[in-house]
Amino acid sequence: MSKRNKLSKFEDIMSYPNVYQNFSPKEIKPMGQGGKVVQLKGKWAEHFGDQKPITLELACGRGEYTIQLARDYTDRNFIGVDVKGARIWKGATMALSEGLDNVAFMRTKIEVIEEFFAPNEISEIWITFADPFLGKPNRRLTAPDFHDRYKRMLIDGGVVNMKIDDPTLYEFTKEVLAERDDVKILYDRDNIYSQPLDFPELQYKTYYEKSHLEKGRKIKYMRWMYV
């Protein structure tokens, strides 16, 4: 992507009503449309204008999963989170063009995710094809510290979904979850396409998943909750 194209997309999302950005994890200052500093933590119902349950997609990339979920589940609100503004632009633009008012996007490092969401503000989390960070396990989105964050943000009975291709991240996640005494595994399949899909949400295929499937990789899915 050219520098000009990136700058154009950054300008676009700065003007979008469905995108919020926090540029530095060391200085928490989320900005909304036009660069206005806003308060997000505990305030997402005000953004959406209703009390519908909120689902987060972490490391959402282009927002394809977020968009598809929002299309099919209009009784819920969805927020895609990613550190790359040029990626978010795709999903945010699509949401606006389709009039999906149950979609928003947050640009930030996920390490500081609790700065933008209050305890019990989230009903469900999706982790889709996240970076496995080979050699840097503490940065993986299923490292122990991240589970603590998710547990605090989720309502009682809230669930985490993980759909990935990377075997290292998959085994790492299973090991981390097995070490906790506050986790209940609800579903675990290391090759979801080896049989009919058990959940309709699994049929969505992002750009990254299609690429992985073309390379012959198996798609893995886990669902769990904190108790």
Among the listed residues 96, 100, 112, the one whose alpha carbon sits nearest the alpha carbon of residue 40: 112
Catalytic pick among 72, 131, 145, 198:
131
145 vs 219: CA distance, rounded Å: 25
Among the listed residues 191, 193, 198, 186, the one whose alpha carbon sits nearest the alpha carbon of residue 223: 186
Any catalytic annotation for residue 131? yes
99 vs 87: CA distance, rounded Å: 19
Which residues of the chain form beta strands (DSSP E)?
19-21, 54-58, 77-82, 103-107, 122-128, 154-164, 183-189, 220-226
Phi first, then psi, for residue 105 (nearest 5°) are -135, 145
Catalytic positions are 131
